[in-house]
Structure 1
Amino acid sequence: MSQDKRVALVTGGNRGIGFELVKQLTLKGFKVILTSRNPKKGHESVQKLKESALDVSFVEMDVEDPESIRQAAIKINEQYGKLDVLINNAGVYLDENESLLTMNPSILEKTMATNFYGAYHVIHSFISLMEKQGYGRIINVSSDYGAMSEMSYQGVGAYKLSKLALNGLTQLLAAETKGDIKINAVCPGWVSTDMGGPSAPRTPKQAAESILWLATIGPEGPNGGFFRDGKRLDW
């Protein structure tokens, strides 16, 4: 592998927006690592992309399991020695039409485990690969449901809280990073995926494009921001 090829990692890359992100990054010339908790599905997705001669590899990683994340980081360090772009895309939407106080608390706990702690542990394990080269782009796939103004309205409370926390994490970590490392959050909009459902107006390709520009911003690009379609959103 030529050293000048940039390396990108996408969590939950086996379907939906994640799969599209993997595809688009490879088309932009990145060496892409697709991660998924399900090795069978992960390998199938990579196979599909390799048939189109795209430069993708698979690493098993369960974002709910910090040890699994740590092992993946060791593996990627050994194989590539660096990471240029990290997209925290893995997420769950488990809310039914219940309020926070009547739902089983495990729904909130499981949502936070993936959508918030998952992203935290992934960044925690992979940031050193960026720090040692003084360069990195981290993109947290969030939602405008995580905006503070959304907390005044009931509904999908577990999901909203997980994205509110992810947005806070984005700002805190952006303030902590040094060098040309940028961490931003993106709302992809309502997208037609397994999670979004068939009536959603946006395609995964449109969603991926709105996220990808942050993967290639220069040193003057934003850090610690929240965006949709390239426009800044209110936290």
Structure 2
Amino acid sequence: MSINLKGFTVLITGGSSGMGFEMAKELLSHGATVVIGARGGPKLDNAYEKLAKEGYDVYAVPLDVRDEESVTNAATWFNEHFNHLDMLINNAGIGTGMESNNPDHQFYDIPVTSFKAIVETNFIGYFLVSRAFVPMMVKNGGGRVVNVSTSTSTMTRRGMIPYGPSRAAAETMSTILSEELHDLGIMVNVICPGGFTETGMTTEAMREFFHQNNLPILTPDVMNKTILFLASPKAEGLTGEKIIGKEFDEWLKSRNISFKD
């Protein structure tokens, strides 16, 4: 194990499945203490049990990123159990309502309830969680925030309302936060997989479309090496970046950075 994250504490939202679960497992396997946050229920319980059985230093906390009270309660719980937070990963997201491959679909066909749910999760949720947890980093003199986003082409592609705009808003907020928090020792970066990825948001219709058109489907561990790098000493001082998981090795090469997971 080349990267030793012993004593490094992480909170990841949407950590009970998909890319969030895989990133949590990667960090745990390198010695980090990881708290997975997700809406309470069997899914969160099962994810925690799977990781705990491996002997990892893992915790679980009910956290609905759309609910301010739930976020506040999770932050209170965290403060009662830990004295520092090294990394916050805003990963929880939904895509329900992005009706995509229907050429007759128009933005005005999207139910308002679906539009609000996506924006509240993918954008406002990032704000609420950061608002609750970043002050812990400020108090301790530093930390790392990683916001999960999507490819720029996805943000602006036909059929991507409101998913694309919700991600674009979160990404713009990340850029602003990277500037505002820089002098406080807090790094803010954005990561995205770099293509269609098998997650809890994937529907059978989406899989069929990609298979029929011979398009690749990325696995949910696509950002594992990226998140490990951002947690490592190698990433100290790095802020305001957007890193694509699928292209991470090329990104390292372009920066002349040597990194082995």
Global fold match (TM > 0.5): yes
Distance 2:93 2:63 in 1: 13
Aligned residue number for residue 74 of structure 1: 76
- SS of the aligned residue for 2:162 comes to helix
1:169 aligned onto 2:167: no
TM-score scaled by structure 1?
0.89
Give the counterpart letter for 1:111 in structure 2: I
1:213 aligns with: 229
d(CA) in 2 for partners of 1:56, 1:82? 15
Q: Does 1:154 align with 2:158?
A: yes
Contact 1:146 1:163 in 2 (8 A): no
- Return closer, same or farther for 1:228/1:135 CA change in 2, 3 Å cut-off: same
How far the C-alpha of 1:146 sits from its partner, in A, is 6.9
Count the aligned residue pairs: 226
Structure 2 partner of 1:99: 106
* Equivalent-residue separation in structure 2 for 1:48 and 1:66 (angstroms): 28
- Find 1:130's aligned residue among 105, 126, 137: 137
Report the alpha carbon displacement of residue 33 of structure 1 after superposing the two structures with TM.
0.3
Matched residue type, 2:170? L
Q: Name the counterpart of 1:41.
A: 43
What displacement does 1:104 show? 1.5
Give the conservation status (yes or no) of the 8 Å contact 1:185–1:226. Answer: yes
1:167–1:217 Cα change, 3 Å = farther
The answer on 1:193 being equivalent to 2:199 is yes
**Greater shift after overlay, 107-116 or 193-202?**
193-202
- Give the partner amino acid of 1:103: I
Structure 2 counterpart of 1:193, one-letter code: T
- What corresponds to 2:150 in structure 1? 143
Separation in 1, partners of 2:238, 2:153:
19
The answer for the alignment partner of 2:127 in structure 1 is 120
Whose Rg is larger? 2
Give the conservation status (yes or no) of the 8 Å contact 1:188–1:211. Answer: no
For the pair 1:7 / 2:14, whether they are aligned, the reply is no
SS of the residue aligned with 1:87?
Answer: strand
- Aligned-partner Cα distance in 1 for 2:95–2:228: 23
Q: Which runs of 5+ in 1 are unaligned?
A: none
Deviation at 1:83, TM superposition (A): 0.6
User: Using a 3 Å threshold, how does the CA distance of structure 1 residues 120 and 105 change in structure 2: closer, same or farther?
Assistant: same
**1:157 alignment partner, SS class:** coil
The superposition leaves residues 46-76 of structure 1 with CA deviations (integer Å, 9 ceiling, x where unpaired) of 1111111111011110001011101111110
Give runs of ≥4 in structure 1 deviating > 6 Å: none
State the Cα RMSD in Å: 2.0
Deviation at 1:180, TM superposition (A): 2.1
State yes or no: 1:180 paired with 2:182.
no
Amino-acid identity (%): 32
TM-score, normalisation: structure 2: 0.80
Other structure's SS at 1:206 match? coil
Deviation at 1:99, TM superposition (A): 2.5
Change (3 A) 1:54 1:220: closer
Q: Secondary structure in 2 aligned to 1:93?
A: coil
Partner of 1:30: 32
Are the equivalent residues in 2 in contact too, given 1:180–1:219 (CA < 8 A)?
no
Whole-angstrom CA distance in 2 between matches of 1:210 and 1:6: 16
Single out whichever of 109-118 and 210-219 deviates more from structure 2: 210-219
In the alignment, structure 2 segments of 5+ residues that lack a partner are 1-5, 253-261
